[in-house]
């Protein structure tokens, strides 16, 4: 039966930045390739090699550990020469340049993926290829992958931080733990809407996103907006709860569903209000667009897939939708 086991040989990820470094400025941008390392591990190793604090390093997004990945990082200009000669196992600096600002989380246009499935029978090759092609037309539920939640109970820890019963001094870890709470609410909303068949159906009071511009608005005419959704003009969204995030119309079915999801996770409106600085909030499309970069390639008992996903979308979720119980993720 076809399977996928994430490794440096079977999983490649290439970050496409929101912008290229200009060539001048007070920040050094380095494009790194890492194998078998998390992004924080790569940052710590580079910082130890060049003598700079991890807080001075910018990155646009986290990249998988059990993979070969490329991504941009930014460093202070004072360590430019040391970066060029850094010698770190399973990590190399591909190129470097200068830019005017530090890299920030979210400064990513999309990510490119090359995935190799193994133990694929001849019968499965055609079926999987057809299913993958259907994803490029219909999309896939934009669920947060298990990597978001870690092996421990990140959601419970994040709630404890928000409630003031636990402190976390590491800024990156604190942000990750709090975001796990928001992600859990989103996944709960997505699960319920998938069960009721409303991932591609507008609910009364829904917050919708314009496909072309990314602009958000609250639906006041679900019949009209449903037509625009089917035409590809709009997409449904789910909540990353926060003080400034757009919310469904008060008293609407969409609002009731999202409020219930927050209750199930344990995130109350009072906690959101208490942590407005850490929880500005946002909306996330319920469906992800899968952009095929090439047709699936079968060779022996393997099937190679090449596709692109928007920033923040998980390739492992696409693979899970493709393989179901044949999915394996090494931790």
Residue found under tokens 């190129």: 95
Residue partners of 30: CB distance under 8 A and separation at least 6: 46, 72, 73, 74, 75, 83, 93, 94, 95, 96
Run of H or E residues at 307: strand 302-310
Residue partners of 123: CB distance under 8 A and separation at least 6: none
Nearest to 300 by CA among 114, 118, 126: 118
Residue 269 has which token pair?
Answer: 């409106």
Residue found under tokens 């090449």: 306
DSSP string, 101-139: S---TT-EEEEEEEEEEBS--HHHHHHHHHHHHHHHHH-
In a 13 Å sphere around the CA of 202, the CA atoms on its Cβ side amount to 26
Residue 229 has which token pair?
Answer: 């959704």
In a 13 Å sphere around the CA of 242, the CA atoms on its Cβ side amount to 21
Active site (annotated) includes residue 153: no
Catalytic residue among 53, 64, 119, 153: 64
Residue partners of 217: CB distance under 8 A and separation at least 6: 207, 208, 210, 246
Q: Which residues pair with 209 in a beta bridge?
A: 216, 235
Residue found under tokens 């086991």: 5
Q: Taken in order 47, 50, 52, 55, is the CA torsion positive or negative?
A: negative
Residue found under tokens 């939708």: 321
Residues with a known catalytic role: 64
């Amino acid at each position: 039966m076809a399977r996928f086991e994430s490794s440096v040989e079977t999983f490649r990820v290439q970050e496409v930045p929101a912008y290229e470094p200009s060539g001048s400025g007070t920040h050094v941008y380095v494009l790194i390739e890492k194998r078998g390392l998390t992004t924080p591990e790569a940052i710590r190793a580079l910082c130890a090699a060049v003598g700079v604090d991890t807080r001075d390093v910018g990155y646009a997004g986290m990249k998988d550990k059990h993979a070969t990945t490329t991504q941009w990082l930014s460093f202070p200009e004072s360590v430019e020469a040391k970066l060029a000669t850094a010698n770190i196992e399973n990590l190399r600096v591909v190129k470097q340049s200068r830019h005017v600002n530090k890299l920030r989380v979210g400064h990513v246009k999309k990510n490119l993926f090359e995935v190799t499935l193994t133990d694929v029978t001849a019968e499965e090759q055609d079926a999987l290829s057809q299913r993958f092609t259907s994803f490029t037309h219909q999309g896939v539920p934009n669920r947060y992958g298990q990597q978001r939640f870690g092996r421990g109970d990140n959601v419970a820890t994040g709630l404890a931080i928000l409630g003031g019963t636990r402190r976390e001094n590491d800024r990156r870890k604190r942000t990750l733990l709090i975001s796990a709470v928001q992600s859990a609410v989103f996944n709960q909303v997505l699960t319920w809407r998938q069960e009721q068949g409303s991932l591609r159906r507008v609910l009364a009071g829904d917050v919708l996103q314009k496909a072309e511009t990314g602009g958000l608005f609250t639906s006041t005419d679900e019949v009209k907006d449903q037509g625009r959704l089917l035409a590809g003009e709009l997409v449904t969204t789910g909540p990353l709860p926060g003080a400034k995030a757009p919310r469904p119309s008060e008293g609407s079915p969409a609002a009731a569903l999202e409020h219930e999801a927050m209750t199930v996770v344990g995130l109350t409106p009072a906690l959101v209000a208490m942590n407005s600085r850490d929880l500005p909030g946002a909306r996330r499309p319920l469906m992800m667009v899968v952009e095929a970069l090439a047709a699936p390639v079968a060779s022996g008992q393997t099937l190679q897939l090449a596709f692109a996903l928007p920033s923040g979308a998980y390739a492992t979720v696409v693979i899970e939708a493709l393989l179901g119980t044949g999915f394996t993720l090494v931790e």
